[in-house]
Structure formats: structure tokens, C-alpha cells
Structure 1
Amino acid sequence: MRIGELARRTGTSTRLLRYYEEKALIVSRRLPNGYRDYDDAFVDRVMQIRGLLDAGLPTRIIKQILPCLNKPRVIHFTDATPQMIATLEHELNRMTERIEVLTHNRDAIAEYLEAVLDADQLRATS
């Protein structure tokens, strides 16, 4: 698929897709006319990249862990430095904290919505 289609399917700008390619997070083939051509698997890959970026991971770390996200999951880290391990542990803890906050907020909104809907139903039947 061409870059515009990948952008549409992932909700990512073409400019950002070119940046991902520049950082070697994704790879395209070049068609004879020079257009980029992406495999369908890059839809999931781009969504993974966006999720990791949203979680706060830098592209240099994402580049190192992307192979671990493939199936089958075969992990080969020959260059995992103590600094990288510490960074991953820190980011994992940050993500866990964010998940807890998001879960709490989701539950609060669900309770509020349920109360609002119940109040509306009571008014409608009165």
C-alpha cells in the first residue's frame, strides 16, 4: 500500500510516517515510479509505535524493542545495556501508573454516566 493509504488506515500523518521511516521504525519498498510501498503488516506496526510513543518511550528504545513485538516472540538482546534495562523498567512503571489512573478515571466516568442515565429515566417515567 502507498503512504497515503497507510496514513489513512492508521490515522497517522504522512509526515510522521516518513519520520518513522527515517528512524528505521518502519521500512518501505520503492516502486519503479519512486513511490513508497508498505506491507499490510505495517498497519499494526504503526499502531504499536504510536502506542509506545504515547506511553512516553523514545524512538531509540522503540527501535530496540520492536522486534520483540513480532510473532512468534523471539527476543534477542545482545546489546541490552544496564542503562537500557533501567530505562525500560522506569517506563514500565510509568505505564503501570498511567493505566491505574486511566482505569480509575474510566470507572468514575462510567459511574457518573450511569447516575445521569438513571436520573433521566426517572424523569422520563414520572
Structure 2
Amino acid sequence: MRTVRFLFFLLSIAAGIGLGLAYGWLIKPPDPTQLTPQVLRADFKADYVLMVAQVYQRDQNLAQAVQRLSRLDPQSPARAVAEALLTARDLQYDPADLQVMSDLARALQMLETPAVPTGEAAP
């Protein structure tokens, strides 16, 4: 009697797992178009920004960095870096990583700040 109950229990567990996988994979799989970097958790966004900052540090290609960061925040990549930097500080990232992210934030800030002409005399 106990072995029949135990086998029924194992069969029920296996059927539940199988039906759950079939539903998730075949009937209602996730839509990959809705899976964008914008929906990442804050710690994963900070990791993404750190990776972009490390590539920027090596290549010094700010346009490419802006393009990559626009996946996180199309309106303001600088805001995405600032938020990621705050998250990284909260999570106690390595100081070298924080510096790399800060360098990228400074470069983006200089990009967004219009240049002020100096030394021009008024007519």
C-alpha cells in the first residue's frame, strides 16, 4: 500500500513538472521582443554599465558607448550611468570599477554640456 502511494506521489510530481515545462515552452513561451535591457534589475544594469565603461576605457569610442547605453535609457544615457554608479556604490563595487564608471559618466557629461566659447571679444 505504501509503495503504491509513493509511486503515485512521484508520478504526480513528474506530471506537474512536465505540464509546467510544456506550458512554459510550448503553449505560452516568453516573447523575446519584450526582453530588453530596460527591464533588468538595478544590479544587472550596473553590471551592464560597467561592461560598457570598460570597453569605453579600452577603445575611447564615446559614440559606441552612447549607442550601447541607449539600450538602458534611450532618453538619457548619462542618467543610466549615474543610476548605475549609485547602485554600484551601494553594492560596494571595487574602487577601480567605480573609477571606470565615473570616467564614463564624466565623458558623457562633457558630451551633453555645450561648449562655451572663451576669449572672444564682444563687437
Report the TM-score, using the length of structure 1 for normalisation: 0.28
Q: Point out the structure with the larger helix share.
A: 2
Report the TM-score, using the length of structure 2 for normalisation: 0.28
**Rg larger for:** 2
Higher relative contact order (CA 8 A, sep 6+): 2
